[in-house]
């Protein structure tokens, strides 16, 4: 199974000074065409205790978000356990393994990246990014954490998304940011 790189959007999460913020741009593309510029790619789950963001096919991501919510319910809101169980299903289920998306999930003190290849990753530096603009946003967030620690997690996410949107053609400046 070949790993697919998600080539649209930017989603980034940052834990900083006891707060977590996750944000995404709002652009939806089909090929090289912008179809919509205000898609909401961030969702609060588990009665607002967990936030998830997605990159990839919208329909596929909604399917995965629904499955993730089911796993959260089944495992008492334990985000890490729910993520591991979703990743197992995603990799082995005949229907799910065809889904083309990635997710970031965040609670108030941890971030996870979940992929269809069975990965559940806790990123270093409490920063996670996915999508085509991920590396731009991640680099900006790392620099902000190091050189502007007085900023809030939300401000770091906003600035990081701005950097990505200025560079990545699949990322726009219509941001949705949620904090915990």
Domain 10-175 bears CATH identifier 3.40.350.10: no
Please name which of 153, 99, 100 lies closest in space to residue 128, comparing C-alpha atoms: 153
Q: Judging by beta carbons within 10 Å of its beta carbon (0-12, 13-18, 19+), is residue 31 exposed, middle or buried? A: exposed
Q: What is the pTM of this model?
A: 0.92
Residuewise pLDDT in 10s, the chain (180 residues): 344 444 579 999 999 999 999 999 999 888 888 989 999 999 999 999 999 999 888 888 888 899 999 999 999 999 999 999 999 988 888 777 777 889 999 999 899 999 878 899 999 999 999 999 999 999 999 999 999 999 999 999 999 999 999 999 999 999 999 999
Q: Pick the catalytic residue: 9, 10, 29, 105?
A: 9
> Is residue 9 annotated as a catalytic residue, yes or no?
yes
CB 156 within 8 Å of CB 143 = no
């Amino acid at each position: 199974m070949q790993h697919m790189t998600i080539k649209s959007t930017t989603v980034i999460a940052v834990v900083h000074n006891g707060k977590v913020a996750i944000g995404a741009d709002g652009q939806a593309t089909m090929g090289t065409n912008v179809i919509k510029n205000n898609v909401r790619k961030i969702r609060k789950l588990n009665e607002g205790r967990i936030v998830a963001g997605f990159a990839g096919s919208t329909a596929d991501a909604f399917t995965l978000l629904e499955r993730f919510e089911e796993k959260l319910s089944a495992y008492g809101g334990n985000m890490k356990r729910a993520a591991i169980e979703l990743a197992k299903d995603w990799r082995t289920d005949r229907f799910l393994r065809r889904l083309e998306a990635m997710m970031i999930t965040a609670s108030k003190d941890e971030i996870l990246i979940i992929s269809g290849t069975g990965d559940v990753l806790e990123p270093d530096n409490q920063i996670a990014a996915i999508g085509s603009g991920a590396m731009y946003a991640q680099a900006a967030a790392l620099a902000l954490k190091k050189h502007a620690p007085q900023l809030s997690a939300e401000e770091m996410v906003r600035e990081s998304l701005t950097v990505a949107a200025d560079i990545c053609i699949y990322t726009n400046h219509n941001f949705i940011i949620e904090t915990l």
